[in-house]
A = this chain, B = another copy of it.
Amino acid sequence: MATQTIDDLPTPALILDRAILRRNLKRMSERLLGAGVMLRPHLKTAKSIQVGRMAVEGHDGRITVSTLAEARYFAKGGFTDILYGVGIVPSKLAAVAELRRQGVNLRIVTDNLAVARAIAGAATDGDTFSVFIEIDSGGGRAGLPFPELPGLLDIARTLHAAPGVDLAGVMTHAGHSYHQNTPDGIAAVAEQERRAIVGAAETLRAAGIPCPIVSGGSTPTATHSRDFTGITEMRPGVYVFNDLDQEFIGSCGAGDLALSVLASVIGHYPHRNQALIDAGALALSKDISAQEFQPKVGYGTIADPPARAMAVVACSQEHGFVGADDPLPYGNLPVGSRVRVLPNHACITAAAYERYYVVDSDLDGGRSVVDVYDRINGW
């Protein structure tokens, strides 16, 4: 059988360039190894065992996940130190305990005293738990806001005192780094992130409570931080693939986008200078993160020449509207021809797909399908 190429794939399809993926993984791995910080990649972006295994090469195999479905999937794939990074609720403790009884150190997160008490209560039944306390380093999502850290010691003492509960440490996600687009701006957020978790760790230690792990992380801060002092691990996620948003804020270069959506041109509309493709709101997602710094990016730009001059300017469920400032080159885009769309936000776009068709731009420009990686979606 002839080698399958991207021209043989049904569209829309999710394409992963392994050469770029490897470079992205290597860059982050070496950066954190050089800084003496452990890498706990957030696999919510890739949701793929194959990518996860590549991401932890040269590290100790710890990972982060965003759903219990991911936790079960990666546990089955042999990962044994897994942080479920979304605030736990009591009703999920049974599922956590089940994986832990199988020998997986599935760690959980809270910032809430009632939940800490529920964890302590659940542990009295013989199950053990490993818990991080979440700190808000300025992003305003989850976590105890720094520097007030309201209730930190109550939560920590509840967990620390509970038999069967391991207070693993403190963690934060500096999501506000996504709204900076200069190395200095991101480095300032990284320093804010560092001060918050190191400060929380010191507060615990000053009270006689051990805090072994001090966990930070986001792709921008892991990339641009100038000081990791006191941080023991970082949890970047989207760096594995990168996307237009990461490019525009400066976490990566234009050549570092590993993920794209392969689509077919399905219609020409010269009276409004548009074409339609068969990748719309579901195939691309309606995430418009990258428009914050580049409004013309729409729902994604066309990857191939003329590079970036065309974007998906609108989309309905299965239709993407391709537009440009200049007249569209319809002659190069006959109906039935294929384009690749670079996503705004790789994590959200990828979630519509069950698999990656893997190509390698170092081999043949990314034409042949060299592998297929699976994904775990849902919850």
- Identify the A interface with B (CB < 8 A): 10-13, 44, 66-68, 86-92, 95, 110-112, 114-115, 118, 140-142, 145, 148, 150, 175, 264-269, 271-272, 276, 278, 281-283, 285-288, 316-319, 321, 334-336, 347-348, 351-354, 377-379
A91 contacts B264, CB within 8 Å?
Answer: yes
A10 contacts B266, CB within 8 Å?
Answer: no
Interface residues of chain A: helix, strand, loop or mixed (majority): loop
B354 contacts A378, CB within 8 Å?
Answer: yes
Given A264-B89, A282-B348, A336-B89, A379:B319 Cβ within 8 A: no
Given A66-B318, A114-B334, A142:B286 Cβ within 8 A: no
Say how far A83's CB is from chain B's closest CB, in angstroms: 13
Known A114-B334, A352-B377; further 11 A-B contacts with Cβ < 8 A = A10-B68, A11-B89, A67-B318, A87-B276, A87-B335, A88-B266, A110-B267, A115-B335, A281-B348, A286-B287, A286-B288
Q: Chain B residues with Cβ under 8 A from A272's Cβ? A: 140
B87 contacts A142, CB within 8 Å?
Answer: no
Q: Chain B residues with Cβ under 8 A from A347's Cβ? A: 317
B142 contacts A319, CB within 8 Å?
Answer: yes
Residue of B nearest to A67 (CB): B318
How far does the alpha carbon of A267 sit from the alpha carbon of B317 in the complex, in Å? 33
Give the 5 A-B residue pairs with the shortest CB-CB distance, closest first. A87-B266, A89-B336, A286-B286, A89-B264, A66-B318
A44 contacts B287, CB within 8 Å?
Answer: no
B348 contacts A266, CB within 8 Å?
Answer: no
A86 contacts B266, CB within 8 Å?
Answer: yes
How far does the alpha carbon of A150 sit from the alpha carbon of B268 in the complex, in Å? 12
How far does the alpha carbon of A321 sit from the alpha carbon of B175 in the complex, in Å? 14
How far does the alpha carbon of A189 sit from the alpha carbon of B282 in the complex, in Å? 26
A89 contacts B286, CB within 8 Å?
Answer: no
